[in-house]
Amino acid sequence: MPYPLLLVIHLFAAIMFVGTVFFEVLMLEGVRKHVPKEAMRSVEGAIGQRARAVMPWVLLLLFGAGFGLAWFHRAALATPMTSHFGLLLFIKIMLALSVFGHFLTAMALHSLGRLRSRASQRIHISVFIHVVLIVLLAKIMFYAG
Per-residue pLDDT tens over the stretch 44-94 = 889 989 988 999 999 999 999 999 999 999 999 999 999 999 999 999 999
Q: Which domain holds residue 70?
A: 3-140
Percent of the chain with pLDDT over 90: 73
Q: Could you tell me if 17 and 131 are in contact, meaning their C-beta atoms sit under 8 angstroms apart?
A: yes
Dihedral sign for Cα atoms in the order 30, 110, 100, 17 = negative
Report how far Cα 113 is from the mean position of its chain's Cα atoms. Answer: 23
Residue 23 is predicted with a pLDDT of 94
Flag whether 41 is in a domain. Answer: yes
Give the global pTM.
0.88
Residue 145 is predicted with a pLDDT of 59
Residue 70 is predicted with a pLDDT of 96
Residue 139 is predicted with a pLDDT of 92
Q: What is the CA radius of gyration of the chain?
A: 17
Residue 17 is predicted with a pLDDT of 95
Flag whether 107 is in a domain. Answer: yes
Flag whether 39 is in a domain. Answer: yes
Flag whether 120 is in a domain. Answer: yes
- The rounded mean pLDDT for the chain is 93
Flag whether 145 is in a domain. Answer: no
Number of domains in the chain: 1
